[in-house]
Amino acid sequence: MKDLKNRVAYITGGTKGIGFAVAKTLLSQGMKVAISGRSQKSVDQALKNFNDDSVLGIVSDVAKMEEEKKAVSRIVETWGQLDVVLANAGVGNFAPIDEMTEEAWHQMIDTNLTGAFHTLKASVEELKKTKGYYMTLASLAGTNFFASGAGYNASKFGVVGFTQAVMLDLRKYDIKVSTIMPGSVATNFNHHIPDEKDAWKIQPEDIGELVLDLLKMHPRTLPSKIEVRPTRPDKK
């Protein structure tokens, strides 16, 4: 995209962490950004932190198709178009398979994987109009399995496969599709509170810069799957 000014982006799970940082980066380029979260409280707090008229806050649970359809409709009603979608909402529940509950399994699959489908399905017709960009926030856990990660691995392996297949489906409409697969990121994911001990990790704003780089890539070139990890792992 040659000029990002006044382009419109939708970021699910945009009230904190990676989604919040990506939103800040896109706003710095003159874009209009809609963010969603599952609770009104989280959305209201994020809007206070942004304090920017170019941000639209929406309460939407990506696990529910009707809520994502309403979210996209509100964005288009507000700004008339939709150019960029980042399916970022995600949860992680980690336990050995014999201890994992059905509730924990379904929460991850419904949010991380089915949520990515809902977000795209709700927005794809608008992206066709703008020849837009759809991105998913996957994880290195989408290719690297680990103990106690059965549910999370399943969801993220699914996101990677889903996004790559979607890329083949949609490029005939000049819609770009990419999946970003970070390693350790200093966020509040899984109830973690970032502090100085997380300095070695990828920072959320680094992912924001990566998204910006993808948007500014020449239209003829598509990095469809991007792995990103800390330069140096933590020394334990």
CA 44/CA 21 separation, integer angstroms: 16
pLDDT tens digits for 177-191?
Answer: 999 999 989 886 666
Partnered with residue 185 across adjacent β-strands are 202
The mean pLDDT value for 129-156 works out to 97
pLDDT tens digits for 3-47?
Answer: 999 999 999 999 999 999 999 999 999 999 999 999 999 999 999
CB atoms within 10 A of CB 233: 11
pLDDT tens digits for 74-105?
Answer: 999 999 999 999 999 999 999 999 999 999 99
**109: its two tokens:** 């699959």
Question: Per-residue confidence at 131, pLDDT binned at 50, 70, 90?
Answer: very high
Strand order in the sheet with 133-137: 55-59, 32-37, 8-11, 84-87, 133-137, 176-182, 225-228
Strand, helix or coil for residue 12: coil
pLDDT higher at 106 or 52: 106
On whether the CB atoms of residues 162 and 116 are closer than 8 A, the answer is yes
When mean pLDDT is compared across 49-53, 65-69, 125-129, the lowest value belongs to 49-53
CATH topology of domain 8-228: Rossmann fold (3.40.50)
CA 48/CA 41 separation, integer angstroms: 11
